[in-house]
Amino acid sequence: MADIVKTIEALKKGEFVTPKRLAEVLECQKEQQLEYLFTTADQVRKNHHGKVVKIRAIIEFSNHCRCSCWYCGMYAGQKGLQRYRMKAEELVSACQQVWQAGYQTVVLQSGEDLYYTKEMIGEIVKQVKTTTGLAITLSLGERPFEDYAYWKLQGADRYLIKHETCNEPMYNRYHPHSSFQERIRCQNDLRLLGYELGSGFMVGLPGQTNEMLAEDILFLKRQRVSMAGIGPYICHPNTRLRGSTDGSAELTLKALALARLALPRANLPSTTALNVKGGMRNALHLGANVIMQKATPFQYRNLYDIYPGRESAEISLKTQLNHLKEQLCGMGFTGV
C-alpha cells in the first residue's frame, strides 16, 4: 500500500516518478489502493476544472487515408470499405449546424487525405471562423510545417495528433508508412506555431507492456500537451491485428487517472473508444473533463470505420447535445 500511495502523492506534487513505479500502479489490483488512485485523480480534476465538462463536436469529414496503421479499419489498403469525402461547402455548412445546435468547439478529423490541400483546409477554417464562434481543432495527421502554419494563420486553434505509443520500435512497426521521429516533428512544429497541442495513446496494443504505458504518461508531460486522448485499443476484424484481444477498459481508466495526476490542467477526454466500452461515466469520475460527441452527418457515420462499435442513434444535433447536458447534469456536472 505504502509504495503505491507514495507514487500517487509524488506524481500529484509534480515530482519525478520513474516509469517502473508508475507501472506498479498500473499493475495494481488491490481495491483500496485503486480507490485511492481514483479519488485522488477525481479531486485533482475537481480542483482545476470544478463541475465543468467541456463538450466537443467531432466531424469526421473524409475516410480516405494514405496510411497503413496495423490496427485501423480505414487503412489505405482496406478494400471492403466505401470511401467518402465531404465537399468544402458541405463541411462548412455542417460546422455552422454544429454552432447553431449550441456547441462551442468543433474537431475536424479525417484520414490522412491529401485531396484536401493546404489552401482548401485554410479556406474551410477561415469560413468557419468568420461565420461562427466555434473554436476549431484540426485532426488531419502528418503534414509539412507550412501547412500547419497556414492553417494557424487562417484561425485554427488546436491540433490533435496522438503519439499512439512512444515505444519507438513498436510505433514504427505499427505505422510502416511513417516513423515515430516524424510524428514528434509534427507535434513540436504545432506547439512552436502556438497551437494547443493534443496527443494521446492507445491502451492494450498487442505487445504493449505496463512499463511502456508508464512511459506514454510521462511522455505527455514532456511534450507539454494541452490535451490527451487515452483510449483502449479495439480490435478491428479487417486489419493485420485481427483476432487480437481488446485493450481493457479498467487499465485505460488507471492510465487516465495517472495522466490526470501528471497533467492537472490538461483537457482529458473520455475518448469515443472508451465510451464504446461503457467507460464514460467512470472516466468523468476519475480524471476526465471532456466529452467528444459525434456530429458527422448520418450518411457518413458508419463509414468512418476505425474500430467496431461506433454506431449512433439518428437524432438532431440539438437533441443529442441536450441529452448529453441532461445526463451530465444528473451526474452533478455542467456541460459547456
Asked if 180 touches ligand 5AD (CB under 6 A), the answer is no
Near ligand 5AD in 212-231, by CB under 6 A: 231
Q: Least CB distance from residue 109 to ligand 5AD, whole Å?
A: 7
Near ligand 5AD in 71-130, by CB under 6 A: 71-72
- From 36, 61, 219, 233, residue interacting with ligand 5AD (rule: CB under 6 A): 233
- From 170, 186, 234, 291, residue interacting with ligand 5AD (rule: CB under 6 A): 234
- From 306, 317, 321, 328, residue interacting with ligand 5AD (rule: CB under 6 A): 306
φ, ψ at 270 (rounded to 5°)? -80, 105
CA–CA gap between residue 46 and residue 332 (Å, rounded): 12
φ, ψ at 15 (rounded to 5°)? -75, 160
Asked if 65 touches ligand 5AD (CB under 6 A), the answer is no
- From 23, 135, 258, 273, residue interacting with ligand 5AD (rule: CB under 6 A): 273
Asked if 202 touches ligand 5AD (CB under 6 A), the answer is yes
Q: Least CB distance from residue 162 to ligand 5AD, whole Å?
A: 4
Give the per-residue contact string, 150-169, with ligand 5AD (x = CB under 6 A; - = no).
------------x-x-----
The DSSP bridge pattern shows strands 334-335 and 105-110 to be unpaired
Return residues touching ligand 5AD (CB under 6 A). 71-72, 162, 164, 202, 231, 233-234, 236, 273, 306-307
